[in-house]
Amino acid sequence: MDTDMTEGRILPVILKFMIPLLIGNVIQQLYNMADTVIVGRFVGAGALAAVGSTGSIMFLVVGFAQGLTAGFTVLTSQCYGAREYDRAKRSVQNGILLSIAVTIAVTLVSSLAMKPLLHLMNTPDEIFSMAYTYILIICLGTVSTVFNNLLSSFLRAVGNSIMPLCFLIFSAVLNVVLDLLLIITFSMGVAGAALATVIAQGVSAVLCYIYIRRRMPVLWPDRFSFRLNRSDTGHQLRIGIPMALQFAITASGTMIMQAAINICGAAAVAAYTAASKIGSLLMQGMISMGQAMATYCGQNYGRGDLYRIRTGVKQAAIAETVYSLAAAAAGLLLLQPTMALFFSPDTDMSQIYPMAEIYMKMSVAFYIPLSLIFLFRNAMQGCGYSILPMLGGVVELVTRLAAAAAAIHLKSYTLAVFCDPAAWLTAGIFLAIAYIYVRKDMQKHMEI
């Protein structure tokens, strides 16, 4: 079920690989929304705000681990494209050993730092205890997240986007069932929501492992040795560390933005949480195209085919622009009918809905530069260029920091939610310029 993306008509090959990713990402967002809906309707608006207030911290912890593991699988994609199958297997073994070390480190550091971090982010007192409970359980379950993403990424590295989708669908259904069981039947509140997420991702990781061992001989080492390969470790860390730092830098920016929103009160946090969940669902087409381009560019870079890389990026950019316009229209139309899903019928929406509308209108106006961020960042990373994408994250961080500082000083919710659009615009411009440089650099090296 692996797909060779170095041959065939370019856009159909990309779209064929992307569509299962899109379906999977949408399903993942839907079950994340189901978490939020169940918490908001059965525990209360305060619990919804508590879960939402930890979103940026969760992105920091999980994103850092995901960035490292995604970087570890770039080598696998390049080896597969170059038909170096023995080295591809070795890269899998090496990536697993590195991920074990990452899991231990991230779990320890995040668990110890969580309470001070919540205080630093101005988490409102009335939701602090619930927020801490939720995010601590997520941190302790980092092993589920890391290995679910690592093993799914190994499958995608060789062009298999179908099986990760199947496992994701199963875990999504399991997550919702566990939510209902733990939150409603056992009255576990936000702790139940966090446990449901950790368990569902752990089950998905186990299913991926079983499938790779039994059905993907091109990936699994013939003999697993608990010893790191020096050359592969260096290669994987050179790509993985900047990718992880890029996630961490971007997440730090969203944490600063969340701190600016937190200072506006629990109603503002609840409004932003609900509206951003809807926005995240709409962004999945952009994210999926970016993920597809990482594998596409990785395989073609391994093959040495610059023409396919350049043409693929150009065609993907057109597709991303069309999708961004459609997603913007959908966001404006769907906000009002979907907001009611997140809150119990007796919730006073007079404050919450106008704040959610402000966020949505500002966000959709900048969907095109956001889509180009995903495209150019993943294309460069797939080709092994990790520093410039990381610097794009720095541009996002600086922009969010400036906007958030002004928002905190003025106590302005409108300025706080403008942090995202401002960051998307500046980073989109930077990464477009960076991609032009990378394309010229690849041409020069291939000519040599």
Asked whether residue 2 carries a pLDDT value surpassing 70, the answer given is no
Asked whether residue 1 carries a pLDDT value surpassing 60, the answer given is no
pLDDT band at 51 (very low <50, low <70, confident <90, very high): confident
Note the pLDDT of residue 123.
86
Residue 35 identity: D
- Which of 43-47, 237-241, 363-367 is the most confident on average? 363-367
Q: Which residues contact 170 (CB under 8 A, 6 or more apart)?
A: 203, 204, 207
Residue 104 identity: I
Q: What span, in angstroms and rounded, lies between the C-alpha atoms of 442 and 438?
A: 6
Of 248-252, 307-311, 352-356, 427-431, the range with the lowest mean pLDDT is 248-252
* Average pLDDT of the residues in 123-129: 87
Of 26-35, 84-93, 218-227, 231-240, the range with the lowest mean pLDDT is 26-35
- What would the pLDDT profile of 289-300 be if each residue is shown by its tens digit? 998 999 899 899
pLDDT band at 448 (very low <50, low <70, confident <90, very high): low
Q: What span, in angstroms and rounded, lies between the C-alpha atoms of 410 and 374?
A: 32
Q: Which residues contact 167 (CB under 8 A, 6 or more apart)?
A: 152, 204, 207, 208, 211
Asked whether residue 323 carries a pLDDT value surpassing 90, the answer given is yes
Task: Count Cβ atoms below 10 Å from residue 443 Cβ, excluding itself.
Answer: 12
Note the pLDDT of residue 101.
92
Q: What span, in angstroms and rounded, lies between the C-alpha atoms of 272 and 269?
A: 5
Average pLDDT taken over every residue of the chain: 88
Would you state the structure tokens that stand for residue 193, as one six-digit string? 């929501």
Length of the chain: 448
Share of the chain above pLDDT 70, in %: 99
Residue 159 identity: G
Would you state the structure tokens that stand for residue 176, as one six-digit string? 């919702």
Of 45-59, 310-324, 356-370, 423-437, the range with the lowest mean pLDDT is 45-59
Note the pLDDT of residue 167.
93
Q: Where are the alpha helices (DSSP H) in 263-283?
A: 266-282
Nearest CA to 26 out of 246, 245, 344, 291 is that of 291
Note the pLDDT of residue 419.
92
* Average pLDDT of the residues in 67-96: 88
The three-class DSSP label of residue 71 is: helix
Q: What are phi and psi of 72, to 5 degrees?
A: -65, -30
Q: Within its chain, how far is the Cα of 339 from the centroid?
A: 23
Nearest CA to 237 out of 434, 75, 62 is that of 75
Nearest CA to 250 out of 119, 59, 429 is that of 59
Share of the chain above pLDDT 90, in %: 45
pLDDT band at 207 (very low <50, low <70, confident <90, very high): very high
Asked whether residue 347 carries a pLDDT value surpassing 90, the answer given is no
More confident residue, 221 or 49: 221
Q: What span, in angstroms and rounded, lies between the C-alpha atoms of 208 and 163?
A: 8
Q: What is the gyration radius of the CA atoms in the chain, in angstroms?
A: 21
Burial class (CB in 10 A: 0-12, 13-18, 19+), 9: exposed
How many distinct helices (H) and strands (E) make up the chain?
Answer: 17, 0
Note the pLDDT of residue 97.
93
Q: What span, in angstroms and rounded, lies between the C-alpha atoms of 50 and 54?
A: 7
- Which of 4-13, 237-246, 339-348, 413-422 is the most confident on average? 413-422
Task: Count Cβ atoms below 10 Å from residue 234 Cβ, excluding itself.
Answer: 11
pLDDT band at 71 (very low <50, low <70, confident <90, very high): confident
* Average pLDDT of the residues in 159-169: 88
